[in-house]
Amino acid sequence: MAHDLTPPDPSPVLELLGAYRKSKVMFAAISLGIFDKLSSGPKAVAELAKELPADTDALERLLSACEMLGLLQRTESGYANTPTATAYLTSTSPNRMTGYASYTDRVLWSMWDHLDDAIREGTNRWKQTYGWDQPIFSSFFKDEAAKREFLFGMHGYGVLSSPVVVNAVDLSKFSKFVDLGGATGHLTIAACRRWPNLRGVVFDLPAAIPLAQEVVGESDVKDRIDFAAGDFFADVLPMADVYALGRILHDWSEPKIDSLLQKIYQELQPGGAVIIVEKVLHDDKSGPEWAVLQSLNMLVCTEGKERTLGEYEQVLTKAGFSNITCVRTAVPVDVVMAMKV
């Protein structure tokens, strides 16, 4: 009896073997300033090579790769940014994701190099990679440049997702919205824009507040947003009838989550709510892709992980919350809302 010796399709393996190359193409183009240089219009390869400066032949190879990836386009005058690159990869765009790209390239990339050790030991890699004794966030705030890069990295994702988040839940009956760990204030800005009944507070570490004030100060809802500095684990929380935790809980272990949720519950009056903004895993943890990969990222660089709705229900119920709902979205975060009755 003949056996079919045809091997299976190797495409998944081949794609993964080269996937890192695509990321590095984008990271290198951002680092070299290519998208910023092209923000004023198309440039020929030789002209761009002189301005950067860069080797002309090597640069042409990189530009061709960026074109292949949909980040650049070729015109009669030379290479030009695509609308996607202009929106997300130029340093002056309000929707820029350059901060997160640089953070991924310079910080996460090195820690992911030790993913096998993280799996063996079940712990993050900041000590192994950088020699840091303090949590990763403390290291990001060590100087002004590192702080701005990290916070604007989070800002890039927030600008994309926050409007979707505040449209996914009904906040019409609330009046005071406090975003714990609010970074640049993108979620508070979106909430106040969508819900005119709200006043907002951005609560974050003292080092983060000046940048939040800068970003909020340029918004059309700045008159309805205040700021409070502190550590949400250690300090008194501002009064609110709805607290938001945007991409916060996935950073921390269950004991710290229990402590924070209990603190929020005690602060709220009956009828108050907490909103958890994270990408929620499927019940069997097989997807969605973003959450599965982000959960590995949390292993490598924090104390936490991504969780299923059942796991969020468990910690919320333990803290005293009820009426728990979840809205899944097409952006990199979903919304879990729970009430104090």
List the catalytic residues.
Answer: 250
Report how far residue 234's alpha carbon sits from residue 221's, in angstroms, rounded to the nearest whole number: 29
What are φ and ψ of residue 8, in 5° steps?
-70, 165
Report how far residue 102's alpha carbon sits from residue 71's, in angstroms, rounded to the nearest whole number: 16
Spatial strand order in the sheet of 242-246:
225-229, 199-204, 176-180, 242-246, 273-278, 334-339, 322-327
Secondary structure tally for the chain: helices H, strands E: 16, 9
> CA 138, 214, 235, 340 torsion: positive or negative?
negative
Is 141 exposed, middle or buried, given 0-12, 13-18 or 19+ CB atoms closer than 10 A?
A: middle
Q: What is the largest CA-CA distance in the chain?
A: 80
